[in-house]
Amino acid sequence: MIEPTLEKLRAMRLSTMAEAFREQVERTDMGELVFEERFGLLVDAEQLARENKRKARLLREAKLKQSQACLEEIDYAARRGLDKPTIRRLATCAWVSEHQNIVITGATGTGKTYLACALAHQACRKGHRVLYRRASRLFDEMHLARADGSYVRMLARIARMEALVLDDWALTKLNEQERHDLLEILEDRAENRSTIMTSQLPVTNWHEQIGDPTLADAILDRVLHKAHRIVIKGTSMRKEVESKAK
């Protein structure tokens, strides 16, 4: 009965359960467990495998710039000004469930992208769909989408993401098309989805970078409403690493 059972489990795409069942058959100590306990172990193995596959798929889909970034490895040195209780609260990913945004600002090299990717990584662990894009790359993709007729589909795909990471935002002033594209994205996400935005510029300078006062007001209202603001202080961590290596 063992081989036919294994074949049926695999046919039902329960391959992990099949392997766990085979291991149980081969182990002599399994006789000490009652049927319910052994069956529970099989179900646990299958569930864990599916959860791990889903997390791996979500991480691949997210395309994080720093895919190995994690909250456990964050440097809380005093010079950085990071508030550990705040990061711990964000680690619960309630901000995603409650459709809140996160704004991370600081000088170049201070670890804004790492923190954004770590928060996005944690969201993937919790089962949320995430997408990472550098702002300039996203605008380029939207320009191409307009040209090939896939603009509406692209907007719909972004809107489905529970968390969008928009990295290196506001490095340059937006042109008219970029302003409208950004507003379209944020309009779909306001009160429905979450967005993480990182920038070298303080929030007070964003209005000027957007350009058009009316659109700037609309964009900033959708970003900053219900947003967690994190300002990373200090100098470039990359330069610190380089100086220590010399």
Same domain, 49 and 76: no
- Average pLDDT of the chain is 91
Same domain, 27 and 124: no
pLDDT-derived band at 246, boundaries 50, 70, 90: very low
Amino acid at 51: E
Same domain, 90 and 203: yes
Same domain, 173 and 216: yes
Cβ neighbour number for residue 180 with a 10 Å cutoff: 14
For residue 2, pLDDT beyond 90: no
Domains: count for the chain:
2
| pLDDT of 52 | 83
Same domain, 175 and 150: yes
Q: Residue 81's domain spans which residues?
A: 63-245
How do residues 120-164 score in pLDDT, each as one tens digit? 999 999 999 999 999 999 999 999 999 999 999 999 999 999 999
| pLDDT of 10 | 87
Q: Which of 115, 146, 147, 111 is nearest to 132 (CA)?
A: 115
Same domain, 34 and 105: no
Amino acid at 150: S
State the Cα torsion 183-184-185-191 to the nearest 10°.
80
Q: Where are the alpha helices (DSSP H) in the chain?
A: 2-11, 15-26, 35-62, 84-91, 94-97, 112-125, 135-148, 151-160, 176-189, 206-210, 213-224, 237-245
Same domain, 108 and 174: yes
Q: Mean pLDDT throughout 27-44?
A: 87
Domain with 68 in it: what CATH number?
A: 3.40.50.300
Q: Which of 24, 40, 58 is the last residue of a domain?
A: 58
Give dist(CA 153, CA 135) in Å, integer.
Answer: 19
How do residues 173-202 score in pLDDT, each as one tens digit? 999 999 999 999 999 999 899 999 999 999
Same domain, 132 and 227: yes
Same domain, 124 and 203: yes
Q: Which of 19, 38, 58 is the last residue of a domain?
A: 58
Same domain, 205 and 130: yes
Same domain, 25 and 144: no
pLDDT-derived band at 64, boundaries 50, 70, 90: very high
| pLDDT of 245 | 46
Q: Mean pLDDT throughout 213-241?
A: 86
How do residues 77-109 score in pLDDT, each as one tens digit? 999 999 999 999 999 999 999 999 999 999 998
Same domain, 32 and 89: no
Q: How much of the chain, in percent, has pLDDT values that exceed 70? A: 96
Q: Going by C-beta distance under 8 Å and a sequence separation of 6 or more, which residues neighbour residue 116? A: 102, 104, 132, 165, 167, 196, 198
Higher pLDDT, 25 or 113: 113
Q: Which of 38, 58, 78 is the last residue of a domain?
A: 58
